[in-house]
Amino acid sequence: MMKPERAFLPGNILLPKNCDYTKWSVVACDQYTSEPSYWDAVEQFVGNDPSTYHMIVPEIYLEDPNVSDRIAAVNRTMDRYLNDGLFEEVSSFVYTERTLKNGKIRKGLIGVIDLEAYDYTKGAQSMVRATEGTVLERIPPRVKVRENASLELPHIMILIDDPSGSVMEPLYDQKHSLTKVYDFPLMMDSGKIAGYALTSDLSEQVLGRLDRLADPKVLSQKYQAEGAAPFVFAMGDGNHSLATAKTCYENLKKTMPESEYKKHPARYALAEVVNLHDDSLEFEAIHRVVFDVDPKHLLSELKKYYTIEEGSREGAQSFSYITPNGSGMLSILNPSSNLTVGSLQNFLDAYLKENGGRVDYIHGEDVVEKLASEEGRIGFILPCMRKDELFQTVLTDGVLPRKTFSMGHAEDKRFYLECRKIK
């Protein structure tokens, strides 16, 4: 059988010179979407100093009437940073160690994903696959941010299923022989991060280890899926960002011959790969808060949509709800999805389409409790899937419901740090 082409490769990574890295690096744009005070504090902290904050559009602002002005300012800033010679280039993989707020260390590898090997549609047979449903409506606003950008900044985190720790874990012991390219505390009490550039020889070793994960025999034994297409990279965080990169690349392909687009830098997207079995990596539920609704009416309709029992019931899909006037637990006895989050999401989609309102996806039960305490809101606290179910489920059942799980709290999400030219 022909060996699959490699989907993850070293990249031409740009890092800033002579700047305050703590101000430079900011959290992923899709965090704190209901907490403007966080982004206000970031803006105040970085001021006019060089920062990735000036090169992103936090999603909390995507619906603002002046968003086009923000995007234009982002593009101008990127061009200015490039013209001012702010960056130096590291042409390799970068091994990272992110010390989380709880003290655990998450090991990762920065490189580029070949977008020819990525497909976010349900039932995809690509080497790189989405794990959750992609909301197509979320892509066009992000395309507007990326389509004229000269740089990309990744908050994309992709998982590999490497229980023996063959790919990344050896780098932990070898880092002292590598060139350290950054080491600094992250803003807003979010831990710290260090990065090391791999040598060309070590990069080849890493690529060989990834090749073994893609071996059809290895995959068949691991997942009992004889003849299945190679599946090595599963989206962890940032699927809509990678889907946006894919869309921009597909649009670009329509404008030039194959000989040009195959070599174009936009064919690739910068990303961090992390082992699913990293000790620091813990799956957590993503909860829901629904705004601008009547909680009583919503709960009444939920009980018409499903057969519902009050309280928790073994074998049923159980979850908690919180309203300004009280809370409780419900169990769905006739679910529409294999996962509790899927069944609830199916109802919410139907309810909001019929009655209006909006839903936000929240990390942390305390945030749900705070947000759901105000009139016209209801919060739902959901159980979490086990992380060892991820690859097998995606391989056999397709993508999970959107926003099924999260990898850690908001402050532990990937921060923008590295850049790469895409035009």
In a domain, 112, yes or no: yes
In a domain, 204, yes or no: yes
Residue 340 and residue 317 in contact, taking contact as beta carbons nearer than 8 Å? yes
How far apart CA 388 and CA 422 sit, in angstroms, is 35
In a domain, 398, yes or no: no
Q: Are residues 229 and 254 in the same domain?
A: yes
Three-class SS state of 141: helix
Task: Give phi and psi for 279, each to the nearest 5.
Answer: -60, -25
Give strand ranges (E) for 200-286: 233-237, 268-275, 283-285
Q: Tell which residue, 278, 231, 159, has the closest CA to residue 398.
A: 231
- Give mean pLDDT, residues 263-280: 96
In a domain, 387, yes or no: no
In a domain, 395, yes or no: no
Place of tokens 């994309």: 156
139-146 vs 239-253: helix crossing angle, rounded to 10: 70
Q: Tell which residue, 240, 8, 224, has the closest CA to residue 115.
A: 8
Query: CA angle 169-173-174, nearest 5°?
Result: 105
Q: Are residues 322 and 188 in the same domain?
A: no
Q: Are residues 178 and 307 in the same domain?
A: no
Residue 30 and residue 60 in contact, taking contact as beta carbons nearer than 8 Å? no
Give strand ranges (E) for 19-135: 87-92, 94-99, 105-114, 118-119, 128-129
**Quick one: tokens of 6?**
């490699």
Q: Are residues 247 and 318 in the same domain?
A: no
Give strand ranges (E) for 2-146: 8-9, 11-16, 87-92, 94-99, 105-114, 118-119, 128-129
227 vs 1, 217, 230, 296, CA distance in Å? 11, 9, 9, 50
For the segment 345-361, what is each residue's pLDDT rounded down to a tens digit? Answer: 999 999 999 999 999 99
For the segment 71-119, what is each residue's pLDDT rounded down to a tens digit? Answer: 999 999 999 999 999 999 999 999 999 999 999 999 999 999 999 999 9
For the segment 301-316, what is each residue's pLDDT rounded down to a tens digit? Answer: 999 999 999 999 999 9
In a domain, 392, yes or no: no
| Structural domain span for residue 204 | 8-283+409-421
pLDDT value at position 404?
A: 86
- How crowded is residue 344: how many other Cβ atoms within 10 Å of its Cβ? 25
Q: Tell which residue, 142, 152, 179, has the closest CA to residue 55.
A: 152
Q: Are residues 299 and 204 in the same domain?
A: no
Q: Are residues 58 and 166 in the same domain?
A: yes
193: pLDDT strictly greater than 80: yes
Task: Give phi and psi for 267, each to the nearest 5.
Answer: -65, -20
Q: Are residues 273 and 300 in the same domain?
A: no
Where does the pLDDT of residue 3 fall: very low under 50, low under 70, confident under 90, or very high at 90 and above? low
Q: Are residues 274 and 320 in the same domain?
A: no
For the segment 311-332, what is each residue's pLDDT rounded down to a tens digit? Answer: 999 999 999 999 999 999 999 9
In a domain, 391, yes or no: no
In a domain, 390, yes or no: no
Q: Which amino acid is at 74?
A: V
Count of domains observed in the chain: 2
Q: Are residues 235 and 325 in the same domain?
A: no
Q: Is the CA virtual torsion 21, 24, 30, 33 positive or negative? A: positive
For residue 273, the cross-strand partners are 109, 158
Q: Are residues 199 and 298 in the same domain?
A: no
Three-class SS state of 296: helix
For the segment 6-28, what is each residue's pLDDT rounded down to a tens digit? Answer: 999 999 999 999 999 999 999 99
Q: Which amino acid is at 131?
A: T
Three-class SS state of 234: strand
Share of the chain above pLDDT 70, in %: 99
4: pLDDT strictly greater than 70: no
Q: Are residues 205 and 311 in the same domain?
A: no
Three-class SS state of 226: coil
End-to-end CA distance of the chain: 36
Q: Are residues 222 and 323 in the same domain?
A: no
For residue 95, the cross-strand partners are 109, 196
Maximum distance among all Cα pairs of the chain, rounded to whole angstroms? 63
Pairing of strands 326-332, 317-323: antiparallel
Report pTM: 0.83
Where does the pLDDT of residue 2 fall: very low under 50, low under 70, confident under 90, or very high at 90 and above? very low
Share of the chain above pLDDT 90, in %: 80
